[in-house]
Amino acid sequence: SAEFICVVQHEMQRFSVIQFFPYTFAELSLISLHWFLTLFASVVHMKVLLRLWDLFYYEGSIVIFQITMGMLKLKEQELQTLDNSAQIFNALSDVPGDVEDVDELIEVAFRVSGSLTDVHVDTHRRKHLAYLMADQGSLVNPESSRNLPKQ
């Protein structure tokens, strides 16, 4: 989910809602993690889910990012009217369940994420994996007591 936030921050700079609520990214990270872990299975209607899974299996994991950005774009005007972080959190939580027209979602998703590529997503993914590994001490550090003893 961390790489998604970086992708969204980069790709959605032109979205006006981002300018009004800089803390929206933290809330979005909390909410979108569940969407990604379940591939939207528990948050969208079945007719929408099957189309999204078709795209996922045909296009790959980039579709998850594209569709999520499309959902956010469809709700952009509504999000701009909200006054506080609780309202934003609730509205963001409801975004996938509010999708009725999957064709419109797909069209908007591909339009707003036109410059997004697998390379871009993979770059962010590797960057965040390196941060996580360094944070957890998984990188080889000769001074670390968690590494195997020297022979």
Is there a domain that residue 75 lies in? Answer: yes
Provide the domain count of the chain.
1
56: domain CATH number is 1.10.472.80
Is there a domain that residue 80 lies in? Answer: yes
Q: What is the pLDDT of residue 50?
A: 97
Cβ atoms of residues 71 and 18 within 8 Å: no
Structure tokens at 100: 């009725």
Is there a domain that residue 144 lies in? Answer: no
The CA–CA distances, whole Å, from 115 to 12, 108, 140 equal: 11, 13, 36
d(CA 144, CA 132): 16
- 80-133 tens-digit pLDDT: 888 888 888 898 899 999 999 999 999 999 998 877 776 766 676 677 667 667
Q: What is the pLDDT of residue 89?
A: 85
Could you tell me the residue range of the domain that residue 87 belongs to? Answer: 2-136
- 32-65 tens-digit pLDDT: 888 888 999 999 999 999 999 999 999 988 898 8
Is there a domain that residue 16 lies in? Answer: yes
Is there a domain that residue 142 lies in? Answer: no
- Residue 37 CB coordination number (10 Å): 11
Amino acid identity for residue 94 in this structure = D
Rg (CA), the chain: 18
Is there a domain that residue 20 lies in? Answer: yes
pTM of the predicted structure, to 2 decimals: 0.71
